Chain A
Amino acid sequence: MASVAGDSPPVKARGLVKRYKDLLAVDHIDLNVNAGEVYGFLGPNGAGKTTTLRMLLGLIMPTAGHIELFGRDPIREGARALDGVAGFVEAPRFYPYLSGRKNLRMMAALDGLGARARVDEVLDTVDLTDAADKRAGAYSHGMGQRLGIAGALLRRPELLVLDEPATGLDPAGIRDMRVLIGRLASEGITVLLSSHQLAEVQEICDRVAIVRSGKVAYEGPLADLRGAAGNGYRLHTSDDRRAAELARTTPGIHALSVGEAELRFDASERDAGALSLALGAAGVAIYRMAPTLASLEDLFFELTEGGGAAAHGMATPDGTAPAGAASGGTAETTERAAGTV
Chain B
Amino acid sequence: MSVATATAELPPRRMLSGRPSTLTIVSWELRKLMAQRRTYLGLALGAIPPLIFVVFWNFHQGPDRHGGIFATEITQSGLATPVLMLLFESAFLLPLIAALVSGDIVANEDSNGTLKTILTRSVDRGQVFAAKTLAAMAYAAAAVFGAAAIATIAGVASWGFHHVITLSDTVVSAPEALLLIVAANAAVLIPLLTVVSIGVLLSTVTRNSAAAVVGTIGVVIVLYIVTAIPGLEAIHPYLLTGQLQAWQGLLRTPTDWGPIAHSAWVCALYALPSLFAAYLVFLRRDVAGG
Contact = CB atoms under 8 A, between A and B. Distances in A.
A2 B9 contact: yes
Interface stretch (B89-97, B116-124, B175-183, B274-282): B116-124
Interface in A92-118: 92-98, 102, 106-107, 109-115
The listed residue with most A CB atoms (<10 A of its CB), out of B24, B114, B284, is B114
A15 to B, nearest CB: 18
* Prevailing SS type, chain A contact patch: loop
Contacts of A112: 16-20, 122
A328 interface: no
* Prevailing SS type, chain B contact patch: loop
A79 B124 contact: yes
B10 A97 contact: no
A92 B115 CA distance: 11
Interface stretch (A82-90, A166-174, A218-226, A281-289): A82-90
A60 interface: yes
Interface in B1-58: 1, 3, 5-11, 13-20, 24-25, 27-28, 31-32, 35-36
A84 B120 contact: no
B236 interface: no
B162 interface: no
A20 to B, nearest CB: 8
A87 B288 CA distance: 15
Number of chain B interface residues as a range: 35 or more
Interface in A194-243: none
A60 B288 contact: yes
Interface in B234-290: 284, 286-288, 290
Contact of A111 (B16, B114, B288): B16
Contacts of B115: 59
B114 A94 contact: yes
Contacts, number: 140
A138 B221 CA distance: 39
A145 to B, nearest CB: 13
Number of chain A interface residues as a range: 35 or more
Given A59-B116, A93-B113, A95-B112, A111 B13 contact: no
Contacts of A57: 116, 120
A8 B112 CA distance: 35
The listed residue with most A CB atoms (<10 A of its CB), out of B8, B115, B288, is B288
Nearest to B288: A60
A12 interface: no
Contacts of B287: 54, 59-60
Interface of B: 1, 3, 5-11, 13-20, 24-25, 27-28, 31-32, 35-36, 112-125, 284, 286-288, 290
